[in-house]
Structure 1
């Protein structure tokens, strides 16, 4: 397994790097440390000669090498580094293919109104990348994950690919999973052919791990998920972002994006 983690050396990003390294050690995985190089503002506003620009690149690579070596020694894992002068989402797509990676780890800033409206680099990656993205908030530390809250729409069903990922995660971490549905009562769902078929598919997909259902009848999905995180004592939240067309995206607000920017625990986004 290969894990990619991006850093701009900020406090939030570096916390995510430590979290990713701990996961890599736990899973005996390779870690790819990635940095999207950005010219410092003071340098961008000057007529900088080519030699000075090259020095910035060299200094940045040295910093990446030193950080990689430090992580390798501290966590006893294989660490490689990549950095590029490009948009982070585009480069991450290329790196995922290059290294056949299974997970991207990114730091997540605290909740702000601006992020709710426009998102940020991490929420943009959740939206655009068709790969699992783990958003790690500042302060989150990997000390094993025993309880995973899987928030999904049971009635609409969950894809087999998503269930495979959830099961693999639970097995690798020896964690129990709560399938949490904010909709109608589960008893009502089971009376309907579609609902029964959906729950049977989840049962088949998660066979072999410890899991159970919990249903809450409410229209306040985000608030109920936040409440259940506390009640269940979840160490990680899993959500499946929905893909909307242009016009639909103007109406629908991404619950995954909003949850990512307001959590104290990591959020794993698994795309369909």
Structure 2
């Protein structure tokens, strides 16, 4: 098993690398650094032979290797690295299988109008709904994860296979999970819901909190700000073609501007 973290050597991604390294140390697992190679703008605008492009690629790869060695020494963990010409979203499936990864870690961009309209690499990975994605904001530093806020759609249910991933993470970190649900009316189903989640998240310390609100996103953001949660977990659903056109994922909307990491675990039947 391993954890993959994407880096382009920016301040945002390097913070994600440090967070992922601390998490790998906590899980006692291998860390894999992945970098998508891009030529510097001034170089890309010039006409260069293939040998020159390969030269810049090797420089980039050496930098990645140096980072891997530094992190391995600092955190006392096994670290490998991979640099590629292809985009992360094009190679992520094979990477996850090759390294038997628990999840992929990536930096979370600040919230902006552009991000809401066009998305970003984080929202692209989450939208693929194939594997868990852990998004790390620039302000987040790993100091242990003891309180997890699980924002879920209880009325539609979550398959045991999906909840098992949350259970595994929670037990490994010895974290308390607060099940957070936003709706206009939920009281009549509360007993049945609690019983099902208690069963499927066996051995995990669970707390429940229901909030009545017309805006799910606003309610979750407010709870994140006022709670002492170290991690927000959401589970995006898979939609058909027409549904995907009409529906804007709440998880995707949350994937920027948070002050704590977001773990997206896709629902799979």
TM-score exceeds 0.5: yes
Map 1:100-249 to 2 at 5 A.
100-190=100-190, 196=192, 198-249=193-244
Deviation per CA, 1:228-249: give whole Å up to 9, x if none.
1133311100001122233323
1:257 corresponds to 2:267: no
The answer on whether the counterparts of 2:184 and 2:214 sit within 8 Å (CA) in structure 1 is no
Give the CA deviation at 1:43: 1.5
Give the CA deviation at 1:84: 0.7
Other structure's SS at 1:123 match: helix
Deviation per CA, 1:156-194: give whole Å up to 9, x if none.
111212211111111111110000110144422248xxx
* Unmatched tracts of structure 2, length 5 or more: none
CA separation in 2, counterparts of 1:138 and 1:61? 24
Other structure's SS at 1:102 match: strand
CA separation in 1, counterparts of 2:190 and 2:232? 25
Greater Cα shift, 143-152 or 87-96 = 87-96
CA separation in 1, counterparts of 2:197 and 2:37? 42
Other structure's SS at 1:148 match: strand
The answer on whether the counterparts of 2:129 and 2:236 sit within 8 Å (CA) in structure 1 is no
TM norm structure 2? 0.95
Give the CA deviation at 1:129: 4.6
Give the CA deviation at 1:153: 0.8
* Structure 2 match to 1:58: 58
TM norm structure 1? 0.94
The answer on whether the counterparts of 1:153 and 1:183 sit within 8 Å (CA) in structure 2 is no
Deviation per CA, 1:135-168: give whole Å up to 9, x if none.
0011200000111000001111112122111111
The answer on whether the counterparts of 2:176 and 2:204 sit within 8 Å (CA) in structure 1 is yes
CA separation in 2, counterparts of 1:145 and 1:243? 28
Task: List structure 1 runs of 4+ shifted beyond 6 angstroms.
Answer: none
Other structure's SS at 1:141 match: coil
Other structure's SS at 2:143 match: coil
Give the CA deviation at 1:204: 0.6
The answer on whether the counterparts of 1:93 and 1:129 sit within 8 Å (CA) in structure 2 is no
Give the CA deviation at 1:51: 2.0
* Unmatched tracts of structure 1, length 5 or more: none
